[in-house]
Structure 1
Amino acid sequence: MGVATAPSVPVTEFDRNEPSRTHWQRVARESADDLATDAVAREQAGRAPFDEVSRLREAGLLTLLVPRELGGGGADWPTAYAVVREIAAADGAVGQLLACHYFLSWSARLFAEPARAAEIERRTVAERWCWGGGLGRQELPLTLTRKAGGYVLEGRQSYATGVLVADRLAVRAERADTGQPFAVVVDATRLGVRIDDEADTFGQRLAAGGTVEFDAVPVTARDILGSLSADEDVLSPRAALSSPVGRLLSVQLLLGMTEGVLAEARDYSRAGHSTWHPDWPLGSPQDPQVLTTYGELTVLARSAAALADQALKAVCGGLARGDELTYDEYAEVSVLVAVAEAAASRAAQESTARALDIIGARSVSSRLGFDRFWRNARAHTLYEPVSHRLRDVGDYFLNDAHPPFVLPLRP
């Protein structure tokens, strides 16, 4: 038995979406080039990214995944993953912000009734919403307490992505009486919602992260999208796909950071000088240490990208199966994403750290901004460590055990 095999995806599905994908990748590249021009200055200023969100909104990227019949871009997940990776290469924090928006705004399709999901997506387009929050499990969960006419939402969610600029918040909350978890959508301006900036983070400063407090916030039945229970009697394999779909966004984010730092380091190396031999141009065949380091990092990056492609094929295959997906098939998809997570995490951490070694003491210059790649990658991997995913892979390989249903804290 291998670790897992990727469910097949009909070729016609990719063919049908190819023109749309080409268009959106071009839009993403143009947006990434725009973000790259002032990435260092914006990151050092650390202001809430209202301007960055406006750039994404004007480019049409916020409504990328909404079906065309509802007014959106009509793109598929392979396109969305490619867009996140492109944006993250220029600005990892904005890439995370966009990834979180995609995951949360799309999640209604899996958790809510079809009519309600369509209504949410239609309003997302019409009112140009940006989504923030998170559906991952918190140590101190938010609670839903039944009141006349509905519920009240109470509690505190620490460092939730996108909340400083969000129009809608999607959060995980547990029923106070039963403990059952639900996905809940809340207007960010609703009475009782308080959002505080967490400006002391050393990385991902422009991901608009903050702490959200809910003080007896009214919640109606329509605000509750659906159950997040991990019980197989409640959670369908199709809904369980929300976990690998969200975690694969994290993979693309890390790959973008990896490719971004290597591209910038290469550009600098070609114009600079070797840290080991000042008389040799950096990147020259005369400098074996530099070439070896670039070779090792290229192997890491491309290996992680290949595993991400395999995981993407698996995710698309699972989504194509829809309600016919089985739990055994879901497990294969989840394990393949876990493998890609581990590889992308290693590639990002090593590339962003060792790029500084290649550049040498000059990399401490804040003007160059190379440190932002390391800080962004390290901050993300601290929130989404891969140790649990590696155990899941090992348990699946050794014991055929299904990985648990775990939603990412920060897609």
Structure 2
Amino acid sequence: MADLVSTPATYDAPHPPAPAPHPNGNARARAEPQQIAAELATRFALSAVERDQRGGTPKAERDALRASGLLALSIPTAYGGLGASWRTTLDVVRIIAGVDGSLAHVFAFHHLMLATVRLFGTERQWGSWFEKTARHDWFWGNALNPLDDRTLSHSRDDWLEFSGQKSFCSGALDSEMLIASARDARTNAFLVAAVPTQRSGIAIADDWDNIGQRQTDSGTVTFERVRVDHHEVLVDPGPLSTPFACLRPLIAQLILAHVYLGIGEAAFEDARRYTLNEARPWPASQLASVGDDPYILAQYGEFWVGLEAVRTLAARAADRLDDAWARGLALSESERGEVALAVATAKVAAAQTGLDICTRMFDVAGARATHGSLRLDRYWRNLRTHTLHDPLAYKMREIGEWALKRTYPTPSFYS
């Protein structure tokens, strides 16, 4: 298949030409994004259990996201998008995570990839990609793994050659565009580029078979002498080069916090329904209804307090991210540091509370809730799989550095 992004002419104007409106833009904008997400979530819930068991690519569901217009959610209206804030975008992620952690993951990472070209590249680059994404409902996938240095970049006459492999490439399958990273074979510099998924030399393996997040397609991408043109490399300002560019890892971290929160809320609601409708009181309680058991009620109280705390922390962090995003290149290191602390706090709380609920939900729902057909264990499996990729102990240490020494987290791809 030919490249989906044609090589642009040299840029003479300071800004890309104003894009034509998206053909469905006005109709899509009439509905609230959260309403669209809720309707999709209702649909996704019907097959969530079966798809968790099957794994693989949720093609029909990804196409439903394409048709919904939500892939343009975070794209500015000037480029045919819906121009949503990060708080709204993350609310949509949380709604989808409430029925399907995998779909929420790939949908959210799509918007993370769009943020990556915005933060690391020039308007001449991201303006064109934004417009085409909104117009054609492109899905962006991830092949940027800063811990995996197996892909190297070699300089050719007037282009770069990417060769090697990347692991944990969420959403790469069934995507139109990829954010890919490589190490310069000569200087070891970290390079990030945006390339069409169907470009010659890119092979995406269907090899993701983990216990959780089973439909994120987070497997292996192989680059075999892939041509990457210089206009596709994000070097101005480049990765993590300014306080504003350093918002990228914070967006990633806050995405995870909202995925965790959505999963935790879903586990709570499923446990609640099962407790009220299926669970039986323990004989020693001498109660007619499990809903009157003080030990059960106390646990639900703990669950509720935990979720309410995470909701508040996540909303606060999203608001601070929006404020920082609006600052643009004027964002200072200390302002970025405040966002980093808010995001880290929300993420730790979301992970701890979510794992607690997903583990203890069986204590309040009872032995019958372990029936295989229910697959209620998917909540724990999804959270456990996700949280292992970024150890909470190190995130807690960053928060401790601030709490004791008033030292902001050092920007990296994980903080």
Please confirm whether the aligned pair reaches a TM-score higher than 0.5, indicating the same fold: yes
CA deviation vs aligned residue, 1:79-131 (integer Å, no higher than 9, x gap): 10000000001101111111111110232111111121110111112232111
Of residues 176-185 and 269-278 in structure 1, the stretch that sits farther from structure 2 once superposed is 269-278
| TM alignment of 1:191-340, pairs within 5 A | 191-226=200-235, 229-230=239-240, 235-274=241-280, 276-277=282-283, 284-285=291-292, 287-340=293-346
Shift of 1:279: 7.9
Q: Is the 8 A contact 1:65 1:102 kept in 2?
A: yes
Shift of 1:164: 1.6
Partner of 2:160: 151
CA–CA separation in structure 1 for the residues paired with 2:287 and 2:114: 51
Q: Which runs of 5+ in 1 are unaligned?
A: 1-18
1:46 aligned to which of 40, 55, 62: 55
Q: Does 1:56 align with 2:65?
A: yes
Partner of 2:32: 23
CA deviation vs aligned residue, 1:147-179 (integer Å, no higher than 9, x gap): 112100112111211012211111222222222
Q: Give the superposed CA RMSD.
A: 2.1
CA–CA separation in structure 2 for the residues paired with 1:21 and 1:266: 34
CA–CA separation in structure 1 for the residues paired with 2:30 and 2:320: 19
CA–CA separation in structure 1 for the residues paired with 2:342 and 2:124: 32
CA–CA separation in structure 2 for the residues paired with 1:142 and 1:200: 23
CA–CA separation in structure 1 for the residues paired with 2:238 and 2:213: 27
Q: Is the 8 A contact 2:55 2:209 kept in 1?
A: no
Distance 1:84 1:144, change over 3 A: same
Number of residues paired by the alignment? Answer: 386
Q: Does 1:407 align with 2:400?
A: no
- Tell me which stretches of 4 or more aligned residues in structure 1 moved more than 6 Å: 19-22
CA–CA separation in structure 2 for the residues paired with 1:408 and 1:127: 31
Shift of 1:282: 5.7
Distance 1:153 1:354, change over 3 A: same
Q: Is the 8 A contact 1:283 1:291 kept in 2?
A: no
CA–CA separation in structure 1 for the residues paired with 2:414 and 2:152: 19
- Letter matched to residue 301 of structure 1: L
Distance 1:282 1:359, change over 3 A: farther
CA deviation vs aligned residue, 1:156-208 (integer Å, no higher than 9, x gap): 11121101221111122222222221221121111111111224211000112
Q: Does 1:175 align with 2:181?
A: no
CA–CA separation in structure 2 for the residues paired with 1:134 and 1:398: 37
Partner of 1:161: 170
Distance 1:282 1:354, change over 3 A: farther
CA–CA separation in structure 1 for the residues paired with 2:288 and 2:230: 65
Q: Does 1:132 align with 2:141?
A: yes
CA–CA separation in structure 2 for the residues paired with 1:47 and 1:276: 40
Distance 1:21 1:402, change over 3 A: farther
Q: Is the 8 A contact 1:21 1:75 kept in 2?
A: no
CA–CA separation in structure 2 for the residues paired with 1:150 and 1:275: 69
TM-score, normalising length: structure 1: 0.89
CA–CA separation in structure 2 for the residues paired with 1:86 and 1:118: 28
Distance 1:107 1:403, change over 3 A: same
Q: Does 1:32 align with 2:41?
A: yes
Q: Which runs of 5+ in 2 are unaligned?
A: 1-27
Of residues 56-65 and 359-368 in structure 1, the stretch that sits farther from structure 2 once superposed is 359-368
Higher relative contact order (CA 8 A, sep 6+): 1
CA–CA separation in structure 1 for the residues paired with 2:82 and 2:221: 30
- Letter matched to residue 221 of structure 1: H
Distance 1:30 1:279, change over 3 A: farther
In structure 1, the residue corresponding to 2:188 is in which secondary structure?
coil
TM-score, normalising length: structure 2: 0.88
2:89 aligned to which of 74, 80, 102: 80
Q: Is the 8 A contact 2:212 2:382 kept in 1?
A: yes
Shift of 1:353: 0.9
Distance 1:181 1:327, change over 3 A: same
CA–CA separation in structure 1 for the residues paired with 2:288 and 2:36: 35
Q: Does 1:397 align with 2:403?
A: yes
Percent of residue pairs bearing the same amino acid type: 31
Partner of 1:89: 98
Shift of 1:22: 7.4
CA–CA separation in structure 2 for the residues paired with 1:237 and 1:20: 32
Partner of 1:98: 107
- Letter matched to residue 284 of structure 1: G
Partner of 2:381: 375
CA deviation vs aligned residue, 1:212-232 (integer Å, no higher than 9, x gap): 0111111001111236555xx
Distance 1:58 1:283, change over 3 A: farther
